[in-house]
Structure 1
Amino acid sequence: MRFEQFKQGHLRVFVSKQELAVHDVRPETLAVGKGQALLRNLLEEAESNYGFHAVGTLDFFVTFFPNDGMLVDVRRDGVMPEETFEEFDQVEIRMTVDIVHHVLYQLDKFEDVIQASHGLVRHIKQTETGGALYFFEGRYYLYFQEQMKQKVEQTMTTILSEYGTPSPKSPLIMAEYGKVIMSEDAITTITTTFTP
């Protein structure tokens, strides 16, 4: 598990596909049995290593990426007084689960986009759109809106994982509020324009 804490009542955790397989957790089993055990372990690690207190009402926003793993965004509702931090028996959990079938990766630098594109170019004919490229909130996003064949998607996400991370953001938000650099055939255009 990779932990990122943004502020006192907000925690973000990425759980890899391998970790989900080890714990035998799938979207439909997240709220029961082994899924609950995984979330409990996540909260215990967040408490001991990052000072995130599991008290009050916790909102879990879980995004599953079939070929990558899952992103868990945990938000504590309201500000809890310090004396309640000892009372772990009073925790209410609300959970929202989303399964993402498109491929959307965040890349920090344009150089990462170039490198990823050169890795993807030989597989791009197996996609419908050839990829779109957005710039949003200081980062680049490569987006494939179509649902690809499983083997193709696994290959694409493996290459993309070397240069970026899967993003739970909506491409509609990026298209509306960000900058659309290329709406289609982004990979071919980048590889013919820039050398790695």
Structure 2
Amino acid sequence: MDLLPPEIIIHTLKYLSLADLVRAERTCKSMQAFCHWEIEHRITTGPLKNDWGVLVHLDQANATATHFDTKTRQVTYKIEMEKPIQIKTMFDHRRQIQCSLLRRNQYREDFVFTVEKGISEGATIPVAASGADLCQVNGALTRVSPINHSSNDDGAYDKKRLLAPSPLVYSLQLTQMQIPLSTIAAQ
């Protein structure tokens, strides 16, 4: 490897597939830095940048690659949500929020966020969910103030009798996701 200039090595690595780059990175210690650079370049600026997304409670959010960690061999994605997901429930109990990992808008794996019992109103707690072996997703869960019922101009509530209490409303905002390099390289 010492006989070849770095420009030739980098130019040659551009023609390898991502799976071949991962294999080359594992086999040759002197090629690791070149392979890591090429992998990060392809994932963060190439066509693989917007391959992944998340389906959260019937709403889809896209993920954009931001960083490749060479020590943990994980790619960090920023999840871009236009607005937080609103979840309503009638009782203060554990509730599961179903989510799915998507690659090119095709289903890959399920994971679940759990709303814990006893979250106070206005409190925001960090939440994390892990799939079987594909991903780890981080976000923030907030219990929102109850929905106000319609009122007149003078501030008095309508004289309708409510049949049920107002639902508890939770807001889920996903922030980032980590996916192992082996999952991204597998086709």
- Measured against the shorter chain, the TM-score band is under 0.3
Larger % of strand: which? 2
Compute the TM-score of the two structures, normalised by the length of structure 1: 0.23
* TM-score (structure 2 length as normaliser): 0.23
Larger radius of gyration: 2
